[in-house]
Amino acid sequence: MFAPKFVKQGKLLLKGSAKFLRYKCDLMEPERRDEIVRLRSELKTAVRGRDRETIEDLTPRLIKACEMAAPMPEYSGWRENVEVIFVAFVIAVGIRAYFVQPFKIPTGSMQPTLNGIIATPLDADEIPGTPVRWFERAFKGRSYIDVVAPFSGRVRANNPVTEERRFVFLTYSVIHFEDGRTIRVRSSMDQLLGGVGLQRSLGLQSYTDRERRTADDRPVVSYYAGNSMVEEGQVLARGRIDSGDQVLVNKVAYHFRRPHRGEVFVFRTTGIRGIEMQQDFPPEQGSQHYIKRLAGLPGDNLRIEEPLLLIDGEVAREPGLVRVMRGDGYGGYRNVGGRPSGLGHFRLNEIRLGPEDYFALGDNSGNSSDSRMWGPVPEPNLVGPAWMVYLPFTDHWGRIE
């Protein structure tokens, strides 16, 4: 208890070197291990005899022997950083798999609650400078496209525009010419062929290639250029692309509570026959997940009397549904096919949901493919409620209601 300081330090060194031997003995050369054992034996004798001079002499020798027996690996700092990044990646993948998952809104079916991809044609003087473009891309999810033909040539007839990926996360569209030359644009095909003018400038016609299938077994929609001649200096595409809102979905909520009528939710499309039968639906929109507003729960009796949604004979009261019916940027709920009352797909004035059925409606009712067309969502398909918009940093950023 009242041992001198040099004795206490000697005991601590003996204890530390013992642990070192246990952890590293299988990695040491035999002569290095034997030297440490010999020095520890001498130090132990000196500690028992409280031989200060011998303890002070053996201490640096034993420490150096341990250091030489298992030197620090080369690039250990880089190795530690890589290990930290790898662990963070594993944690992120685990969170994505079991807790939250990001989704990007591809279409306008939930506008104005959630934005899909919006393409706006612009004139040359409306394209901002590079610093502004960088700022808007980082904070608004906005990019600009200005494609001018650098040469003259005839566009390839079959598959004139293809999409390719580089470095996993970079997407390019490639315009092919008959002589083998190409124009590469940093943009996905669905952005480039939309409202920025490429489809019109090349005279592209779409068709369904039933010989080719997507990963979820849909026919591939391809394009045909006909007899398109491009002149040098011709504007092929020019405009602004606002990317869809990127949302986080709570994947565990429905394990602890029932779905709430009126909330925005995500579900899988697998096994929903009405969706699978839409053979001409563009594959770029044929994701395995859809996002809509949950308008009906199991057992609900639903009816649309434009612009109102009636549940069990009464106008819906949930805040999200009320907001759609009230207007203020929303168009209210609409019927399908011009029928005065009903829910489209069912050809009935009313529909009563089964014990495991959920009814999904888009907030942009006049431009939404939803349960009115392809029927209710089975309970096993539910993923979870949409939690928040995390990108871009616009008016929609934050919690989804």
What confidence score (pLDDT) does residue 222 get? 73
The yes-or-no verdict on residue 76 having pLDDT over 70 is no
pLDDT band, residue 306 (cuts 50/70/90):
confident
Distance between CA 12 and CA 1 in Å, rounded?
Answer: 14
Q: 125-129, 209-213, 381-385: lowest mean pLDDT where?
A: 209-213
Region 104-117: mean pLDDT is 85
How many Cα atoms are found within 13 Å in the side-chain-facing hemisphere of 307? 15
Q: Is 161 exposed, middle or buried (0-12, 13-18, 19+ CB in 10 A)?
A: buried
Q: Identify which has the larger pLDDT, 53 or 72.
A: 53
The two structure tokens encoding residue 164: 């390719």
In the sheet that holds 118-121, the strands lie side by side as: 118-121, 235-242, 142-148
Mean pLDDT, residues 308-330: 91
Select the more confidently predicted residue: 96 or 19. Answer: 19
Highest mean pLDDT among 56-65, 280-289, 302-311: 302-311
Whether 190 contacts 178, CB under 8 Å: no
Reference 379, options 257, 277, 259; nearest CA is 259
133-159: pLDDT as tens digits: 888 888 888 888 888 999 999 988 888
Residue 280 clears pLDDT 50, i.e. is over it: no
Under the banding of pLDDT at 50, 70 and 90, the label for residue 358 is very high
* Least confident range of 16-20, 46-50, 205-209, 324-328: 205-209
For position 266, what pLDDT does the model report? 94
- pLDDT band, residue 338 (cuts 50/70/90): very low
Burial environment of residue 296 by CB neighbours within 10 A (0 to 12, 13 to 18, 19 or more): buried
pLDDT, one tens digit per residue, over 15-61 is 888 888 887 777 778 888 888 888 888 888 888 888 888 888 888 88
Contacts of 121-126 with C-beta under 8 Å, sequence gap 24+, read 121/195, 121/196, 121/197, 121/238, 121/239, 122/238, 122/239, 122/240, 123/238, 124/235, 124/238
- pLDDT at residue 285, rounded to an integer: 43
Which tokens go with 219?
């026919």
Residue 212's pLDDT is 56
Residue-level pLDDT at 378: 94
Map out the domains of the chain with their CATH numbers.
Answer: 5-69 (1.20.1270), 142-242 (no CATH), 246-399 (2.10.109.10)
Query: Could you tell me the pLDDT band of residue 217, with boundaries at 50, 70 and 90?
Result: very low
Average pLDDT of the chain, as a whole number: 81
Q: Which is higher by pLDDT, 191 or 65?
A: 65
Q: What confidence tens digit (pLDDT) does each residue in 228-260 have?
A: 888 999 988 888 888 888 899 999 899 899 999
Q: What is the mean pLDDT of residues 183-203?
A: 80
> Does residue 279 register a pLDDT over 50?
no
